[in-house]
Structures are given as structure tokens and as C-alpha cells.
Amino acid sequence: MAGIVVKNASPGLPRTPISDGLPEAMLEQVAAHSALGRLETPEEIADGAVWLLNDEARFIIGQSLLVDVGFNIAGWR
């Protein structure tokens, strides 16, 4: 065993200076599609990534953690 562990945090569309350059109507449509009805923040994505690196997630290997305010579970409407 090489001792390499792969983990991934997959964000949706966070509110950042880059996304703030997109049309507001587009951001509202994406936010409305998420389970929480909003966009995630960079801090929320970082919290998920930090958790993956924490000893509490030592059993998580080869997985992708969706950190997207429920965008993927909401389903297309």
C-alpha cells in the first residue's frame, strides 16, 4: 500500500468576486435550484474540506464530498 489517500470537496457555485460578475438572474436561478435556496459561501466549502482532512474523517477514502447547499440532491425543477 502506497499510503496515498484521495478525498475531494465538490462545491456548487459559491458567492465569490468571480460569480458576482455573472448576471444576477442567473445566480438567483441557480440558488433557487439548491435545496437550501441559496448559494454556498467559500467558508462553507472550506469547512467541508477541513473536515475531510480532520481525523474525524479518517475513514473517508476515495470519496467526493458535495459541499453545494444541496444543489445536486434537489433535482432539476
What is the CB neighbour count within 10 angstroms for residue 11? 21
**Beta-ladder partners of 10:** 66
Backbone φ, ψ for residue 15 (5° rounding): -75, 110
Tell me, what's the pLDDT at 73? 81
**Domain segments of the chain as ranges:** 7-74
- pTM exceeding the 0.85 threshold for the entire prediction: no
Give tens-digit pLDDT for 13-64.
Answer: 999 999 999 999 999 999 998 889 999 999 999 999 999 999 999 999 999 9
Residue 1 has pLDDT above 80, yes or no: no
In angstroms and rounded to an integer, the radius of gyration of the C-alpha atoms of the chain is 15
